[in-house]
Amino acid sequence: MLLPFQDLFIQDSVPAQVAHDMARTRCGCEDLELVKVTLERESRAIAIGARLVDTETKEIGLMIARISEGGVLSEWNARNQSANVAPGDSLVELNGLTAPWAIMEEMGKAVALEMVVRRATPGSRALLARCEISDQSLQTTALLLNRTVRARDASVDTCAICLEDVGADERIAGLECGHGFHQRCLMRWLTRPGASCCPLCRGDVH
């Protein structure tokens, strides 16, 4: 299942500073090119300028769906025209994190970003062509990222949606009603037509 987009572009007129570290490496897979990109911004209010989609596939993972002008990523591209990051590429690691929701959370709060990007494959380009951006999914993703807590802080040991165990230190979406769920699971729940409530108590999610 394709999870909706996370808009990580924040409008801001402050110019961004982009570091100039770029290196190409190879992973153990055949001819999958990895690009290391280092971005720096003066504050969290400065735009990264990327829209991401969690494809929930091992082959593609967290895909870059759009790069917006004015963010640090577009400035990186302007300074590294022979090694641009492009829509369809996959973000495989950020500041040592590899889980998609952990990456998105880190992108929202970090000012220094060490990114590893995998070049687009024919499969990711085909998927990109079918992606649609939904305002509802952007708002829901932002809500879940803002509600992220450790499972132990929400007294959650099982996700009531998928019924899988949740580790005490695992990051989950904790709702105002006190219930918590895997972010991916709650995202699926809340992006169904007409869904806007907690899966357990039916309390409003806002």
Q: What pTM, to 2 d.p., does this model score?
A: 0.72
Among candidate residues 137, 144, 142, the one with its CA nearest the CA of residue 175: 144
**What's the pLDDT at 9?**
35
- Characterize the bridge pairing of strands 171-174 and 180-181: antiparallel
Query: In this predicted structure, what is the pLDDT of residue 40?
Result: 92
Task: State residue 31's pLDDT score.
Answer: 43
The answer to whether 10 touches 46, Cβ cutoff 8 Å, is yes
Supply the pLDDT for residue 150.
92
Report pLDDT for 12: 26
Terminal-to-terminal C-alpha distance of the chain: 24
Shared-domain flag, residues 126 and 158: no
For residues 89 and 179, membership in a common domain is answered with no
Q: How high is the pLDDT of residue 110?
A: 93
Cα torsion through 135, 12, 83, 98, rounded to 10: -60
Give me the CATH number covering residue 156.
3.30.40
Q: What does the pLDDT read at residue 8? A: 45
Question: Are residues 122 and 159 both part of a single domain?
Answer: no
**Do 106 and 167 reside in the same domain of the chain?**
no
User: 116 and 77, same structural domain?
Assistant: yes
What integer pLDDT is reported at residue 24 of this predicted model? 33
* CA 140 – CA 187 distance, rounded (Å): 7
Q: pLDDT below 50 — which residues of the chain?
A: 1-31
pLDDT for 37: 92
> Domain range for residue 178?
147-190
- Residue 163 located in a structural domain: yes
Neighbouring residues of 48: CB distance < 8 A, sequence distance ≥ 6: 8, 9, 10, 39, 41, 71, 72, 73, 107, 113
Domain count, the chain: 2
Q: Could you tell me the maximum CA-CA distance found in the chain, to the nearest angstrom?
A: 53
d(CA 206, CA 144): 10
Q: Is residue 184 included in any domain, yes or no? A: yes
113 with 162, same domain: the answer is no
